[in-house]
């Protein structure tokens, strides 16, 4: 059995599709998979069981990337095509069955909409598969005995989604202070390599021995590192979804984003948002783009600290446990 799985280009969206992929992998234990995704998300799929081909869809002029994909897939008779891009390519390929993402989202969570494609209830949770390379690199970065870890993701792909970096510094100091459940925890800092300069104030605010810098590692290694963390706190981003998929207690910070649709998914997740709604914040934007103003200033350190403590308590962690 051959399954063609066309997923998203963006990291967060791609992670949210992995619950559907995991269900297919379990339901069809002899199936071989061809997965199509964008370059930035490709590492997340390299360890999928029975992966026959990983097609990295690099954008070309005049939709040439879709032509290239069609050329790579036309010679195969597919048993199932799951097209989460609703592309013309899948309509031009031969397959016993084809399914597409909903043309009109329900307004509910993305994971629920994806599960509806195959009438799955409850929706299968996103998950990631790790390979030996990712595990080995994560163990080298965070060797045993495993330290107490607080993971922080202070960047985002859109500046208005970013909580001020000075707030991350204050939160980290507060959560790791003497007497706190995460007292003296090391800080696992995760971000894309090109985002490192903007988060340097956080890295420089703590002694070198307290910081584990994972900004130069591939996404699957980052996932393996996040699996070791006691708590993740980060902006609405792909890294937030990776942490949740690794079953790490995950607190997502929201402002202009829509947590009802894109909040972290799982039993160990929570969100805390600005007092203003998404619509109120977005109405303030005179324009979008790289120079759009920050919109997360009204989310206080105290609010995020309280939400972090509630999630730690919900997870059942205490220093003596």
Which pLDDT band, with edges at 50, 70 and 90, does 270 fall under? very high
Of residues 159 and 36, more confidently modeled: 36
Residue 64 sits in the same domain as residue 140? no
Q: What is the pTM of this model?
A: 0.95
Statement: residue 184 has pLDDT above 90: yes
Which whole number is the average pLDDT over 207-235? 97
- Is 152 within a domain? yes
Question: Residue 150's domain is classified under what CATH number?
Answer: 3.40.50.2000
Which whole number is the average pLDDT over 263-288? 90
- Is 126 within a domain? no
Residues facing residue 5 across a β-bridge? 35, 82
Residue 148 sits in the same domain as residue 59? no
Which pLDDT band, with edges at 50, 70 and 90, does 159 fall under? confident
State residue 284's pLDDT score. Answer: 82
Statement: residue 242 has pLDDT above 90: yes
Residue 146 sits in the same domain as residue 284? yes
Residue 178 sits in the same domain as residue 308? yes
Q: What is the pLDDT of residues 191-214, one digit of tens each?
A: 999 999 999 999 999 999 999 999
> Strands (DSSP E) along 31-94, which ranges?
32-37, 51-56, 78-83
Residue 76 sits in the same domain as residue 174? no
Residue 234 sits in the same domain as residue 86? no
- DSSP 8-class letter at 151: E
Statement: residue 237 has pLDDT above 90: yes
Nearest to 72 by CA among 91, 88, 57, 51: 57
State residue 217's pLDDT score. Answer: 96
- Is 140 within a domain? yes
Residue 142 sits in the same domain as residue 55? no
* Mean of pLDDT over the chain: 94
Q: What is the pLDDT of residues 105-151, one digit of tens each?
A: 888 999 999 999 999 999 999 999 999 999 999 999 999 999 999 99
36: preceding bond cis by omega (within 30 degrees): no
Which whole number is the average pLDDT over 234-255? 98
Last residue of a domain, one of 116, 150, 172: 116
Q: What is the pLDDT of residues 90-104, one digit of tens each?
A: 999 999 999 999 878
Which pLDDT band, with edges at 50, 70 and 90, does 240 fall under? very high
Which whole number is the average pLDDT over 53-69? 89
- Is 320 within a domain? no
Residue 164 sits in the same domain as residue 294? yes
CB atoms within 10 A of CB 64: 11
Last residue of a domain, one of 116, 150, 166: 116
Domain count for the chain = 2
Residue 95 sits in the same domain as residue 171? no
Q: What is the pLDDT of residues 281-308, one digit of tens each?
A: 988 887 655 555 678 999 999 999 999 9
Which run of H or E residues covers position 134? helix 132-141
Contact 235, 158 (CB under 8 A): no
Ordered DSSP codes for 189-241: E---GGGHHHHHHHHHTS-GGGEEE-TTS-HHHHHHHHTT-SEEEEESSHHHH
Nearest to 164 by CA among 286, 249, 255: 255
- Is 123 within a domain? no
- Is 278 within a domain? yes
- Is 127 within a domain? no
- Is 172 within a domain? yes
Residue 219 sits in the same domain as residue 246? yes
Residue 100 sits in the same domain as residue 189? no
Residue 112 sits in the same domain as residue 198? no
300: preceding bond cis by omega (within 30 degrees): no
Statement: residue 31 has pLDDT above 80: yes
Segments forming the whole domain that contains residue 23: 2-116
Nearest to 183 by CA among 316, 318, 314, 300: 318
The sign of the CA dihedral 237, 239, 243, 245 is: positive
């Amino acid at each position: 059995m051959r399954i063609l799985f066309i997923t998203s280009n963006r990291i967060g969206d791609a992670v949210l599709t992995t619950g559907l992929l995991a269900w297919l992998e379990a339901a069809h234990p002899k199936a071989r998979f061809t997965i199509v995704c964008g370059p930035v998300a490709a590492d997340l799929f390299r360890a999928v069981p029975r992966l026959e081909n990983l097609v990295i869809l690099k954008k070309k002029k005049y939709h040439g990337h879709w032509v290239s994909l069609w050329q790579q897939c036309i010679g195969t008779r597919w048993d199932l095509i799951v097209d989460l891009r609703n592309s013309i390519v899948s309509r031009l390929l031969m397959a016993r069955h084809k399914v597409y993402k909903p043309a009109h989202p329900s307004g509910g969570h993305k994971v629920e909409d994806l599960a509806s494609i195959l009438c799955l209830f409850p929706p299968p949770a996103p998950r990631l598969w790790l390979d030996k390379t990712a595990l080995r690199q994560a163990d080298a970065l965070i060797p045993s005995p495993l330290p107490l870890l607080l993971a922080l993701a202070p960047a985002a792909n859109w500046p208005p989604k970013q909580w001020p970096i000075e707030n991350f510094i204050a939160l980290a100091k507060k959560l790791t202070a003497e007497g706190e459940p995460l007292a003296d925890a090391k800080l696992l800092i995760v971000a894309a390599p090109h985002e490192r300069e903007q988060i340097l104030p956080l890295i420089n605010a703590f002694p070198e021995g307290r910081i584990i810098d994972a900004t130069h590692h591939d996404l699957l290694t980052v996932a393996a590192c996040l699996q070791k963390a006691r708590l993740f706190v980060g902006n609405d981003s792909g890294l937030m979804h990776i942490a949740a998929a690794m079953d790490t207690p995950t607190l997502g910070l929201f402002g202009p984003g829509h947590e009802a649709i894109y909040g972290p998914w799982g039993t160990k997740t929570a969100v805390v948002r600005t007092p203003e709604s998404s619509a109120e914040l977005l109405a303030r934007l005179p324009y979008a783009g790289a120079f759009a103003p920050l919109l997360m200033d009204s989310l206080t350190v105290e609010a995020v600290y309280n939400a972090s403590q509630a999630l730690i308590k919900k997870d059942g962690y205490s220093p003596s446990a």
